Structure 1
Amino acid sequence: MNKVNFYKYAQQNGFPIPATFYPVNKSDLKEISDRNLFPYIIKPVKRTENWLRRFNKKVVEVTDSEHLSRVFDMCSAAGEDVIVQEWIDGRDSDLYSCIFYYDKDCNRAVTFTSRKLRQWHIENGDACLAEECRNDEVLNITMDLLSRVRFKGIGSVEFKLDSATGGYFIIEPNIGRPVSRISLVEAAGIPIIYTMYCDASGLPLPSNRGQRYTGVKWIALYLDLRSAWAYFSEGKLTLRDWLKSLSGLKSCADFSMRDPLPFMAILYIGFFVLLKKIWYALAGSSGG
């Protein structure tokens, strides 16, 4: 999906998004700096392997005009088109989403609201611990948006609650693909995958598609361990609080007692990646 077109549509039709800019040339940065809404985040119009290799994160936060100019130059040199957005202050748990499926006639078939509890990378990343929750404002904005564009298919819209104003802002659309925590919807008793199958096959849709708000949780354990460790290191999470946050888990993305080997392989690879980072860090310090 073309994110530039999405954000421009949202701006033109009164949907709540952060202040958003689409710089093409270096001269476009002056307007952004003059608005003085720092910090901003810079993200690619289309996330590529080249972007991930260069920055190793979804977005880059910039804190002043010089930083903005430097990152923009790096992106331009790599041929990356970017979007610059105002940073909305808040915690991981202030990030809400609505996952949805609209049938071939553009009718609402499934909607499901949830929120992140932790993400990796911290502050700007993908959910690694999420829970079902009720949020009618997020749901209503999403349905209004989808009905206006006559949407059909699967997707999700992520929102962030602004801790300063109490308002919700659309942060990120994910259209035409399921997000990683799609199994949270299934764990909450909503057969979204079967609903899609029935719609594609011309079969009656299952009747049990309504959200029941039971508060189930989903985890990507390996990424959550990394996120938790980062928060431990910053003094923002204790072992007791981490264990408490796991209460209510119903779905895990990367571990199953019936088939633990894939998760063990992830840990094995992660261990050697960590050793490599330690080696380079030690080599760099000894060389200095």
Structure 2
Amino acid sequence: MSLDSHQYERTPALVLGEIGLVQNLGRAGIPVIVGSEIRDNPSLHSRYTRGQVFFSDYRSPKFIEELCDFGRSLSQKAVLFSDDDHAILNIAKHQDQLEPYYLFSFPDPERVEKLLDKQLFCELIEQYDLPAPRSITLSSVKELNEKPVEKLQFPCVIKPSFKQAWWGKDFDSKVGDYQKAIKCKSYEELVNLYRDLAEINPHVVVQEFIEGGEDQIYSVNMCVSNEGRLDGYFIAQKLRTYPIVAGEGCYITTVEDPEMIEMTMDIVRLLELRGLLNIQFKRDQRTGKPVLLEIHTRNSVWSYLGTAAGANIAALYYQLLTGNKILEQRDYVPGVRFIFIEKDLKAFIQNLRVKQVPIGTWMRTYFQKFILGGFSWNDPMPAVMKLWFIMRRRLAK
């Protein structure tokens, strides 16, 4: 592990995550140290990166030991950021060990685990009667006959306990392109699919499908104080995803929705949540009501979008923890659009096969004003290095 003991004129931020976090903090004048469990991390090459440190696997006990060691090397506590669920889960479980060296705000460890693990989240839904679709957990093929899966109303979606469980070549060879969730029209289709998925990772959630397209999915990104005060937020709506069904947002816009933020704050108070949060909903086209899908103790990777619209949530969180006045809080602007070019082009190729969206309609979006995800003209090296890392891995194969 390479330790960095620079002295900083302002409280530093240690970022274990995507380039969006690094750029949002750096542009607010916050000194950023990038931590990583891999060497091929584009964030290490940002102009805003003032120091770097490498850690062991985020899931390991050694990671916590190394975090403590690095914290001791700094002259002041750093604000700890991550958008990696495994890192967040491990950090939350060891808050007492890390508190002497870092500034952070998480719910209690058990609550964090139940929010991030989709199987445990089902228990939380039932315990608090949250406005979420009916769900059943599976951990083995045997449970298909033991649990009343067929009693769910089909179509359903099946998704892994942790999204990382479906990353990799095993999923590609058995199922196809990565998806966050897979829609099943019948019980028989679900059974056949799960037999393949169980060989990759058996821990999944089967959830009733909420009627409506991908453009009915919303993400409320927020910063909540320890006292439950909403310090800043923005709501983003998916317009396109990759894959084009049950995929990750690649064309997104900011929206206003008073009903959704009111429902979100009811959930925050009920579950006693705090810190950085990302709460996802889908508006049911049958009822017009938002239905809860997921809760994360972090913001989404769409943080570029919030900052472009006037809500730099990461900087507000830093400000909350340090007491340093970095920026003035103001309302965000609705209608700001954001495109992940790499994923959106892949979605476009998929769309050519299924003809879900007319080509002309799709192409017109590129002639409108939008924020470009994954690339910044005043900080181009992370995108350049990401391309180089991809090329190097393919050449190595």
Shorter-normalised TM range: 0.7 to 0.9
Task: Tell me the equivalent position of 2:118.
Answer: 3
- Residue 181 (str. 1) matches residue 296 (str. 2): no
CA distance in 2: counterparts of 1:104 and 1:153, whole angstroms:
7
TM-score (norm: length of structure 1):
0.82
CA distance in 1: counterparts of 2:367 and 2:148, whole angstroms:
43
1:72-221 equivalences under 5 Å are 72-175=194-297, 177-204=298-325, 206-211=327-332, 213-221=333-341
Deviation at 1:269, TM superposition (A): 5.1
Higher mean alpha-carbon deviation, 177-186 vs 34-43, is at 34-43
Native 8 Å contact 1:114 1:131 kept in 2: yes
Deviation at 1:26, TM superposition (A): 4.2
Which of 156, 163, 167 pairs up with 1:47?
A: 163
- Residue 253 (str. 1) matches residue 368 (str. 2): no
Deviation at 1:267, TM superposition (A): 10
| Number of equivalent positions | 271
1:229-244 equivalences under 5 Å are 229-244=349-364
CA distance in 2: counterparts of 1:113 and 1:45, whole angstroms:
25
Native 8 Å contact 1:161 1:168 kept in 2: yes
Task: Tell me the equivalent position of 2:69.
Answer: none
Higher mean alpha-carbon deviation, 45-54 vs 180-189, is at 45-54
CA distance in 1: counterparts of 2:307 and 2:138, whole angstroms:
40
Quick one: which amino acid aligns to residue 38 of structure 1?
Answer: F
Distance 1:235 1:197, change over 3 A: same
Deviation at 1:183, TM superposition (A): 1.0
SS of residue matched to 2:262: helix
Quick one: which amino acid aligns to residue 244 of structure 1?
Answer: R
Q: Structure 2 unaligned segments of length 5 or more: list them.
A: 1-115
CA distance in 2: counterparts of 1:222 and 1:76, whole angstroms:
30
Native 8 Å contact 1:44 1:51 kept in 2: no
Distance 1:267 1:127, change over 3 A: farther
SS of residue matched to 1:98: strand
Quick one: which amino acid aligns to residue 156 of structure 1?
Answer: N
Task: Tell me the equivalent position of 1:35.
Answer: 151
Quick one: which amino acid aligns to residue 307 of structure 2?
Answer: E
CA distance in 2: counterparts of 1:110 and 1:258, whole angstroms:
26
SS of residue matched to 1:7: helix
Counting aligned pairs with the same residue, the percent is 23
- Deviation string for 1:32-72 (max 9, x for gaps)? 44325222111111223555431422222223233322333
Deviation at 1:113, TM superposition (A): 1.1
Native 8 Å contact 2:233 2:313 kept in 1: no
Deviation at 1:106, TM superposition (A): 3.1
Deviation at 1:263, TM superposition (A): 5.9
Q: Structure 1 unaligned segments of length 5 or more: list them.
A: 277-288
Native 8 Å contact 1:52 1:58 kept in 2: no
Deviation at 1:127, TM superposition (A): 0.7
TM-score (norm: length of structure 2):
0.61
Distance 1:9 1:66, change over 3 A: same
- Deviation string for 1:81-127 (max 9, x for gaps)? 11110112211211111111112433211121120010111121111
